[in-house]
Amino acid sequence: MKQLSRKGREKQRHRSEILQVAEAVFSEKGFFKSTIREIARKAEFATATIYKFFKSKEDLYTKVIIEKADEFVSFVESEVSKETSIMMKVEKSIEAKVGFFLGNVSFVKIYFAQTRGAGFSIHMSMDKRIRKKYEGLLQFVAQLFRDGIKEGIFIKADPCDLALALDGLTNAFMFSFLESRKESKELLLKKIPLMKKIFFEQVRLK
C-alpha cells in the first residue's frame, strides 16, 4: 500500500538511523548538552543532512520522543486488550509498561526527563504534545479502574487518582533501576509482584 520507491525506502532508513542515534545521544547527555554535530557525526552524516529530515534540533528531539511514545502507548494498549478480566488487564498494564521500558532504556530516560522532569527543558508547544500522550495513557488505565469500580472490584475512588498512584508507584521502581545500573533487568522484573502487592493488597497488617 505505502509502496515506496527504493529511494524513498533508503530515505526512511536514513531518517530512522538519525532518530536512533539522536535517541542515544539525547539520552546520554540531555537536550542541551547534546549537539547536532555530534549526532550527525555518530550517525555518519553531515550536519546539514540532519536538517533535511528535521527542521531544528528541537524538532528532532520532539520526534525522538513522540514516535517512541506512540509505540509505547500502542504496545501497552495492545497487550492489555489481550486480557479479558479487568484485574488481569490492570496487571498486564504494569507488566507491559515495565517490559517496554526494559527494552528501551535510553528512550525512557528522555521520556522521564520530559514528563516528570519538571517540564521546562524545552519549548512549551512540544511539551504539550508529550504530556498529552502521557495523559492519554493515564486515562486509558483510569478507564480500567472505572470499569473495575463499577464491577465492585476496586474501592470507590477517583479512577484518575488510582491510575496516577499506580503510575507513580511503578515509575519509582523504574527510576531506581535506571540509576543503579548494576541491577540486572531480572531484578526489576522480580519487583513486579511487590508493586502489585503494595497496590492491590495491604501493606499494613492490622
Summarize as ranges the residues that interact with DNA (CB under 7 A). 6-7, 10-11, 14, 34-37, 44-49, 51-52, 55-58
Between CA 99 and CA 45 the distance in angstroms is: 33
In the list a copy of itself, DNA, none, the entry touching 10 (Cβ below 5 to 8 angstroms by class) is DNA
The three grid cell numbers given for residue 9, joined into one nine-digit string: 525506502
Q: What is the DSSP letter of 43?
A: H
> How far is C-alpha 45 from the geometric centre of its chain's CA atoms?
28
Q: Is residue 155 a contact point for a copy of itself (CB under 8 A)?
A: yes
In the list a copy of itself, DNA, none, the entry touching 75 (Cβ below 5 to 8 angstroms by class) is none
List the one residue from 14, 41, 59, 171 that touches a copy of itself (CB under 8 A): 171
> How far is C-alpha 19 from the geometric centre of its chain's CA atoms?
16
* C-alpha radius of gyration, the chain, whole number: 19
Between CA 4 and CA 1 the distance in angstroms is: 9
Give the nearest distance from C-beta 61 to DNA in angstroms: 10
The residue ranges that bind a copy of itself (CB under 8 A) are 27-33, 87, 109-110, 112-113, 116-121, 131, 152-155, 157-158, 161-162, 164-165, 167-173, 175-176, 178-179, 191, 194-195, 197-206
